[in-house]
Amino acid sequence: MTLPGPLVFHLGASHHTAPLALREKLALPPERAADLHARLAAVGLPELVLLNTCNRVEFYGVADTPADLAALEAAFCAVTGLEPADFAAIRAHTTGPAALRHLLAVAAGLESQLLGENEIFGQVKDAYAAAQAAGRAGPVLNRVFQKAFQAAKHVRTHTAISEGQVSVANVAVELALTIFGDLRSARILLLGAGDIGEKTAKAFQSRGAAALTVANRTPERALALAQTLDATALPFEHFPHHLADYDIVVGSTAAPEAVVHAAPVASALSRRRARPLLFLDLALPRDIAPEVAELENVYLYNLDDLAKIAAQNLAAREAEVARARALVAEKADALWRQILARHG
Amino acid sequence: MPPLTDRTWLWFAAACYLAGAVLGAVSLLRGRRGSTAAIYMVLAAGYAFQTFGLYLRGVAVHGCPLGNKFELVQFTAWSAASLYLVVGPAFRLSLLGFGTALLAAALGLAALLFPDWDAARRTHVFGGNPWIEFHAALALFSYGVFGLLALVSGLYLLRHHGLKNKRIDGAFALLPSIRDLDVIGLRLLAAGVALLALSLGVGSVWWLREPASVNLFKLLATIGVFLAYALALALRLRGRLVGRRQALAGAGLFLAALLSIAPVNSSRHPAGPDAPPAPEAPAR
């Protein structure tokens, strides 16, 4: 059945449909995203926003024909190296009012791995701003995204879905406390100078962490972040030799493959005697090799694991989620009627 | 009303310990942190009853009541409870109170429910030698310390299992941090080894004077337990026995130590021909 009005769509994959190992392959760093947009230039997609976070790669757009969607999918598979059949197995695709509902739910944090978290709102805003700057947001998506932001704020204000430990940083601190008791003597090593790592480092500092060190592949960024956080900087290539000095290692680099391997960790453990070592892998692709978790006295948590912990507190908020979803549906349907009236 | 016997007081004690264990279990099943003060009070009451019961038994047997399996097990439970009442509030571990109540109830009830363990009572079991009595009491007290260490090791293994399986909610939320459990375990291990070393030091003075007075099996078993714990401590201090393996050692060694009590007791030389079975001691 063909819906009336413009062909508004959402297409992509997220933590709901793809496991962590597969999401690593879907990640679109800036150079890949630029490649993708270059390939799409020839395709008839008048409006397109790319939402690219560690838990989802999604396109929101307006297509002229369904064939344009197939072209988008083919270009995405070509850039990521994913087999079309593999992508088809994890793909989520909606159109019309269902696509609007999905976007509003994403912006409100209802589709987030840490349900109700706030980070996604900023990420959706950034994605929209990037599309605007590149001239890829037109009259339909401008209206859709503006309304999505209003709806997300409304949902957060009028429900309690964001109450409690619903950010990666907060869950990470809660987890660290179950291992170390308090953080007054905990030394933190932050790998990477990205946003999520910075927020997590700040959360540790606010709970009294003893010391913070930043190591980044770009030394200038490590120095700048270290100054901002009142921390010290460490040359990235030196950090494997200093692992024994740290109690918590936060991985948040954009490296294409793991930067922490089992051998240097095993060596560090022999110098740490009985002190446990906590690794928080907030990166995608993952920064810390999974074999590290097999070592004695080591606890490794990736994004999925942190989400699992957050979900353990979910039951109390389920009623709020139902209310939030009802609000999202109401707002999305009203928005679809407006679009039909203006562009149908 | 006839006077209450030592066993009756020990039944009261076991009932209190059991009540503490039930209180802790109910809190745990509800996923809530129970009242540490309530468990502490119930344990303290049980401890008072047990102390009085053992005192009556001591009066009856003319010495420290360590003459049969019943008394040895009761004394071990009493040692664990003593230690918890002294150090428990400092550790602020509500689950340790629950564990201690469970351990003391299990040991106390087992001793009371097996009549054979208390069938043969011996008086003047240490021949009136206060040093040997001190040696035996200290050794049993160290077993109590190792009992608490086994409990802490159990809590450590639970916490470790939760962390490795990404669970920190429900009952896992009631557990102390794994670092705290590790530190407490190390202190208990060091204290137990020190107490047992002191006990063996005192006992060795007597043994050197009269080597024939100590059965070889008892000697080997006691030294074996000491060496195993001392080795665990040395490996722990050198960072060779840490984490889960240390906790497994703490739990496993206590089981071995506990199992060694019976053969050690039965291998002891009788106190002497003038050691008639003691009657049940009434409270005076």
Residue B9 has pLDDT above 90, yes or no: yes
Judged by CB atoms closer than 8 Å, whether chains meet at B168 and A275 is answered as: no
Rounded (10°) angle between helices A139-158 and A318-343: 150
Tokens of B150: 């086994």
Q: What is the pLDDT of residues A73-102, one digit of tens each?
A: 998 998 888 899 989 999 999 999 999 999
Residue A173 has pLDDT above 80, yes or no: yes
Report the relative pairing of strands A56-63 and A7-14 from DSSP bridges. antiparallel
Q: Is A62 helix (H, G, I), strand (E, B) or coil?
A: strand
> Quick check: A290 contacting B, CB < 8 Å?
no
- Please indicate, yes or no, whether residues A273 and A334 belong to a single structural domain of this protein: no
| pLDDT number for residue B56 | 92
| Residue at token pair 């468990």 | B39
What is the C-alpha separation between B111 and B117, in angstroms, rounded?
7
Residue B207 has pLDDT above 90, yes or no: no
Q: Is residue A191 part of a domain?
A: yes
What is the C-alpha separation between B38 and B40, in angstroms, rounded?
5
Q: What is the pLDDT of residues B57-115, one digit of tens each?
A: 988 888 788 888 898 899 889 988 988 888 776 665 667 788 888 889 999 999 999 88
| pLDDT number for residue A204 | 93
Cβ contacts of A312 within 8 Å, gap of 6 or more: B167, B168, B169, B170
- Please indicate, yes or no, whether residues A36 and A150 belong to a single structural domain of this protein: yes
What is the C-alpha separation between A307 and A113, in angstroms, rounded?
6
| Average pLDDT, rounded, for chain B | 83
What is the C-alpha separation between A202 and B135, in angstroms, rounded?
55
Q: Is residue B273 part of a domain?
A: no
Of residues B67 and A128, the one with the higher pLDDT is A128
| pLDDT number for residue B275 | 41
Q: What residues of chain A, 29 to 88, have a C-beta less than 8 Å from chain B?
A: none
Judged by CB atoms closer than 8 Å, whether chains meet at B164 and A299 is answered as: yes
| Least CB–CB distance from B163: residue in A178, A272, A308 | A178
B contacts of A299 (beta carbons < 8 Å): 163-164
What is the C-alpha separation between A52 and A126, in angstroms, rounded?
10
Tokens of B111: 């001793």
| pLDDT number for residue B125 | 64
Express as a percent the part of chain A with pLDDT over 90. Answer: 51
Q: Is residue B78 part of a domain?
A: yes
Q: Is residue B56 part of a domain?
A: yes
> Quick check: B121 contacting A, CB < 8 Å?
no
Element (H, E) at A298: strand A298-302
Find out whether B148 and B100 touch, Cβ atoms under 8 Å. Answer: yes
- Please indicate, yes or no, whether residues A24 and A82 belong to a single structural domain of this protein: yes
> Quick check: B239 contacting A, CB < 8 Å?
yes
Q: Is residue A77 part of a domain?
A: yes
- Please indicate, yes or no, whether residues A129 and A219 belong to a single structural domain of this protein: no
φ, ψ of residue B115 to 5 degrees: the values are: -60, -30
Q: Is residue B283 part of a domain?
A: no
Element (H, E) at A8: strand A7-14
**Which pLDDT band holds residue B24 (cuts at 50, 70, 90)?**
confident
Cβ contacts of B264 within 8 Å, gap of 6 or more: B217, B218, B221, B222
Count CA atoms within 13 Å of residue A49 on its CB side.
Answer: 27
Q: What is the chain A residue with the closest CA to B167?
A: A309
Least confident of A25-34, A49-58, A133-142: A25-34
- Please indicate, yes or no, whether residues A137 and A266 belong to a single structural domain of this protein: no
Q: Which residues pair with B217 in a beta bridge?
A: none
- Please indicate, yes or no, whether residues A21 and A150 belong to a single structural domain of this protein: yes
Measuring CA to CA, which residue among A295, A274, A185 is closest to residue B186? A274
| Average pLDDT, rounded, for chain A | 88
Find out whether B239 and A274 touch, Cβ atoms under 8 Å. Answer: yes
What is the C-alpha separation between A48 and A10, in angstroms, rounded?
10
Annotated active-site residue in A20, A40, A54, A137:
A54
Alpha helices in chain A (DSSP H): 20-26, 30-40, 66-80, 84-90, 96-107, 119-133, 139-158, 168-180, 195-206, 219-229, 262-272, 303-311, 318-343
Judged by CB atoms closer than 8 Å, whether chains meet at B186 and A274 is answered as: yes
Q: Is residue A1 part of a domain?
A: no
Query: Per this entry, what is the length of chain A?
Result: 344
| Least CB–CB distance from B168: residue in A175, A274, A296 | A175
Cβ contacts of B252 within 8 Å, gap of 6 or more: none
B contacts of A179 (beta carbons < 8 Å): 163, 177-179
Alpha helices in B114-215 (DSSP H): 130-164, 178-209
| Least CB–CB distance from B163: residue in A179, A275, A308 | A179
The single-letter code of the amino acid at B96 is: L
Q: Is residue A114 part of a domain?
A: yes
Q: How far is CA A133 from the centre of its chain?
A: 22
Q: How far is CA A319 from the centre of its chain?
A: 25
Q: Is residue A314 part of a domain?
A: no
- Please indicate, yes or no, whether residues A285 and A191 belong to a single structural domain of this protein: yes
What is the C-alpha separation between A144 and B283, in angstroms, rounded?
86
pTM as predicted: 0.70
> Quick check: B234 contacting A, CB < 8 Å?
no
Residue B273 has pLDDT above 50, yes or no: no
Find out whether A253 and A281 touch, Cβ atoms under 8 Å. Answer: no
- Please indicate, yes or no, whether residues A64 and A182 belong to a single structural domain of this protein: no
A contacts of B243 (beta carbons < 8 Å): 274, 276, 296-297
Q: What is the pLDDT of residues B241-272, one digit of tens each?
A: 988 999 999 999 999 888 887 667 665 555 44
Residue A187 structural domain: 168-309
Judged by CB atoms closer than 8 Å, whether chains meet at A181 and B182 is answered as: no
**Count: domains in chain A:** 2
Quote ipTM for the complex: 0.70
B contacts of A174 (beta carbons < 8 Å): 168
CATH number (domain holding residue A205)? 3.40.50.720
What is the C-alpha separation between B259 and B257, in angstroms, rounded?
5
Residue B114 structural domain: 6-266
Q: Is residue A2 part of a domain?
A: no
Find out whether B256 and B228 touch, Cβ atoms under 8 Å. Answer: yes
Q: Which residues pair with A187 in a beta bridge?
A: A211
> Quick check: A211 contacting B, CB < 8 Å?
no
**Count: domains in chain B:** 1
- Please indicate, yes or no, whether residues A198 and A228 belong to a single structural domain of this protein: yes
> Quick check: A179 contacting B, CB < 8 Å?
yes
Judged by CB atoms closer than 8 Å, whether chains meet at B239 and A272 is answered as: yes
Measuring CA to CA, which residue among A105, A133, A43, A170 is closest to residue A332? A105
What is the C-alpha separation between A33 and A56, in angstroms, rounded?
14
Q: Is residue B277 part of a domain?
A: no
- Please indicate, yes or no, whether residues A33 and A49 belong to a single structural domain of this protein: yes
CA atoms B270, B271, B272, B278: torsion sign: negative
Rounded (10°) angle between helices B94-113 and B69-91: 170
- Please indicate, yes or no, whether residues A194 and A304 belong to a single structural domain of this protein: yes
Find out whether A150 and A334 touch, Cβ atoms under 8 Å. Answer: no
**Which pLDDT band holds residue A238 (cuts at 50, 70, 90)?**
very high
> Quick check: A275 contacting B, CB < 8 Å?
yes
Q: Is A57 helix (H, G, I), strand (E, B) or coil?
A: strand
- Please indicate, yes or no, whether residues A173 and A121 belong to a single structural domain of this protein: no
Alpha helices in chain B (DSSP H): 6-29, 36-61, 69-91, 94-113, 130-164, 178-209, 216-237, 243-266
Is A77 labeled as catalytic in the residue annotation? no
B contacts of A275 (beta carbons < 8 Å): 179
A contacts of B91 (beta carbons < 8 Å): none
Chain A: nearest CA to B97, how far in angstroms? 19
Q: Is residue B16 part of a domain?
A: yes
What is the C-alpha separation between A311 and A200, in angstroms, rounded?
19
